[in-house]
Amino acid sequence: MDFLDSPEEAEYRAGLRAWLERLTAEHDGPGMSTRDWHRTLYDAGYIGQTWTVEEGGKGLPPTYDVILTQEVARADAPSVPANPNYLGRTIFKFGTEEQKAKFLEPTLNGDIQWCQGFSEPGAGSDLASMRTRAELVGDEWVINGQKLWTSAAHESDWCFLLARSEPDAPRHKGISVFLVDMKTPGVTVRPIRTTDGHEHTCETFWDDVRIPAGNILGRRGGGWPIAMWALQFERGPADLGIVAGLLKGLHKLDAYAREHELDASADVRRAIAKAYVDIRVLDLNSVRQLSNRVAGHAPGSDGPVAKLLWAIGAQSLGHAWLDALGPLALTGADDGHAVSEYFYSRPSSVYGGSAQIQRNLLAQRFLGMPRT
């Protein structure tokens, strides 16, 4: 990351690094569950540190979250939980006082783990075509439908769910946001094993799921702008640790290639160099985004740029692993890391908005090109 720490940031970084070193030695990794890791970071004061004091945070600049993600990646510790930053802030901005009192503190400290019910089998990048319905019956909302690619739904307590509550309204104006307890009768979660061999995501089914009328976030039918506001914060690579994670993977590949003398091949060196350039471009774009945030500007409409660069960097790294190992990748000589890295990188150009959709957004918003 191309910025110089201030004296205060340098002191913060040194203290954080020392804390992570002690923790890693004590817990072997640290080897703990997602919830325990979240709570550990919170107890140490690292979760919500850039929230305003009014929101329950410390009011630190965004650079502190970037330093946190950098040092966590450097220590090879689990990723910093992202949901407190963007879902928690969304509840703070749009929620009622009762919702804030109920959800903010548990979201910060990890007592509540969230999943995000957006995509559906027929509504991924074209999210506004969703078919999951919510009908107000008396003092309850009754929800029916299916969601797909719901990350960590099998480990979550609550869901930030989008559903169509106004079936006769225009597509983008008939959607509401609901806060749903995942233990509610009628909710079924089925983990999906992806090509890298892990269960990162799930499909969820909602069959006559009844929730209190007060569990709607914001106004009825006003869910689309709320969801878009939340996604502004979800897609910041610097804050989510994407850049730090990719750079860590690149350094690991470079060290492996040198150790096994794979870098003697010009093709291997070229693949690693391409991955380096692609990740550095993402890195520099993240620095620009960070500078805007430090200057007090909210995340803008350049999110599609970051998403595209993120996918390009991740997939370049995945390809570089396979190019470096060649046929050895299929033998498991590297404990299967190259194949896993490659397959893990493939969906990066689909989830969170496909590359095609991001290019359409750039064409319309930046170049002023008409819809076809």
Predicted TM-score (pTM) of the model is: 0.86
pLDDT tens per residue, range 259-268: 999 988 999 9
Neighbours of 138 (CB within 10 A): 8
- Listed residues 81, 105, 140: the one ending a domain: 81
Alpha-carbon distance 68 to 45, whole Å? Answer: 11
281 lies in the same domain as 335: yes
Q: Which parts of the chain have pLDDT scores under 70?
A: 1-3, 27-31, 233-240, 298-301, 372
Q: Is 231 helix (H, G, I), strand (E, B) or coil?
A: helix
The pLDDT value given to residue 114 = 96
Amino acid (one-letter) located at 77: A
Which of 74, 173, 184 minimizes the C-alpha distance to 128? Answer: 173
210 lies in the same domain as 241: no
* Catalytic choice (234, 259, 261, 341): 234
DSSP string, 278-338: HHHHHHHHHHHHHHHHHTTPPP-TTHHHHHHHHHHHHHHHHHHHHHHHGGGGGGTTTTTHH
Which of 280, 315, 306 minimizes the C-alpha distance to 362? Answer: 306
- Listed residues 176, 197, 221: the one ending a domain: 221
241 lies in the same domain as 285: yes
196 lies in the same domain as 138: yes
Q: Which residues are registered as beta bridge partners of 74?
A: none
121 lies in the same domain as 207: yes
**Alpha carbons within 13 A on the beta-carbon side of 340:** 12
Neighbours of 286 (CB within 10 A): 24
Q: Which residues are registered as beta bridge partners of 334?
A: none
Q: Give catalytic status of residue 234 as yes or no.
A: yes
Alpha-carbon distance 353 to 288, whole Å? Answer: 22
Helices (H), the chain: 7-27, 34-43, 63-74, 83, 89-94, 97-109, 223-234, 237-240, 242-259, 266-294, 303-325, 337-345, 355-365
pLDDT tens per residue, range 55-103: 888 999 988 998 998 899 888 888 888 888 889 989 999 999 999 999 9
Q: How many domains does the chain have?
A: 3
Q: 77: domain range? A: 7-81
Residue 91 lies in a domain: no
345 lies in the same domain as 270: yes
361 lies in the same domain as 310: yes
The pLDDT value given to residue 144 = 98
The pLDDT value given to residue 2 = 46
Alpha-carbon distance 177 to 98, whole Å? Answer: 16
